Amino acid sequence: MTHATAGKRNISPLGKGKEKILHEDDGLVEEVSDAEVDLGFVGCVHEGVEYGLDPGVDSDGTNSWHSEEMKMPPNSEDELEEGNESEEASPLFREGARFGELHLEVGMKFGTKWEFREAVREYTIQEGRSIKIVKNDNIRCRAVCKVKECPWVAYASRDHEDTCWQIKTFNDDHTCPREDKNRAANRNWVCSKLVKKVRKYPNFRHCEAATYFKTRFDLTLNKNSISRALMDTRSVVYGDEKEQYRMVRDYGMTLLKTNPGSTVQICTTPQPDDEVTFERMYICLSGCKNGFKAGCRPLIGLDGAFLKTRFGGQILSAVGLDANHHIYVIAWAIVRVENTETWRWFLELLHQDLGHYKEHDWCFISDMQKV
């Protein structure tokens, strides 16, 4: 009688074909009715499910339907999107990351081995550790921490398509302490960090550079390293002075082309190896020459100044006063030394350009008694 009463209580008043059966684990499971089900309307069968049966559903030894809802086959576009999401693309290394934000990971690709080594150098300086390259050939490159007990390692080799370099092993776990001195911060690295500073501040000093590296990069650099790096940085910013002297003739031809009527004279000294070296140069632009004749008083000031460059020399200048009593540049010359010979050469060329003013010569003012 007890079983009969329990059976009557579990019969649903809405449908006689469905019953709620009480299992041993006190869970209620809905049993499927006796109606036939056409497998053709079930839809696509997912992996792990055979013949529309879900083996993951607990039952009393027989398979049961996980859901009564109709399963529609997925769209082909959805399948394509799911496939793309499953295949994670390897990240590409991008240069120009700010110091402190550089990130390395397994699978990252680099264009060349040199690019990988520079990225490791930047990363180790960022982390304040010292590394060394233990393997370096055409197909692989391994960098490890200089401390033997430290497990940090970065290994990269060519990918299977032989198109780039890819990180295969990367253990970013340092057990060694951070240091404020790092030999990875070599002369080229220091120079690359100073280029923007020197461009913005042309008179960037040695003490300012030392403070900059200490506060920005937490590095204590040698004084000689900073001095050499500053010299290289100024060469990058202002160009190589020796190469600029090779372009003096091109500079003169450009002045004559853009300023017709100008005077440009370049003197050189021949050498035994059929080469020539720069000796002196005189320049007088046509606009300055004609403007001085037309609207300035016949008063010319002469002066010389030292050139604080790698090769030295002096600059001789001839200036006047305009209507607003401002300095008006007439001509200038670059010479090795300032003496009587160079001044006479400069004044002869200046006389040829200016000629005479109302039948009187120009009045020269100079701080040299010999002129």
pLDDT tens-digit map of 60-112: 444 444 444 444 454 444 433 443 443 456 788 877 777 878 888 888 888 88
Angle 206-217/223-238 helices, nearest 10 degrees?
100
The burial class, CB within 10 Å (0-12 / 13-18 / 19+), for 127 is middle
Whether pTM > 0.75 for this model: the answer is no
What distance in Å separates the CA atoms of residue 238 and residue 230, rounded to the nearest whole number? 12
Structure tokens at 226: 């900073």
Select from 191, 273, 181, 185 the least CA-distant residue to 231: 191
Query: Per residue in 156-186, pLDDT tens?
Result: 998 877 788 889 999 988 888 888 888 888 8
Question: What does 289-323 look like in DSSP terms, one character per residue?
Answer: HHHHHHHS-SEEEEEEEE--SSS--EEEEEEEE-T
Q: Is it the case that residue 31 has pLDDT exceeding 50? A: no
On the question of pLDDT at 57 being above 50, the answer is no
Dump pLDDT digits (tens) for 204-246.
898 999 999 998 888 888 888 899 999 889 888 887 777 888 8
pLDDT for 45 equals: 42
Q: What is the DSSP string of 73-132?
A: PPPHHHHHHHHHHHSPPPPBP-TTPPTT-----TT-EESSHHHHHHHHHHHHHHHT--EE
Map residue 350 onto helix, strand or coil: helix
Q: Of 97-101, 103-107, 117-121, 250-254, which range is least confident?
A: 97-101
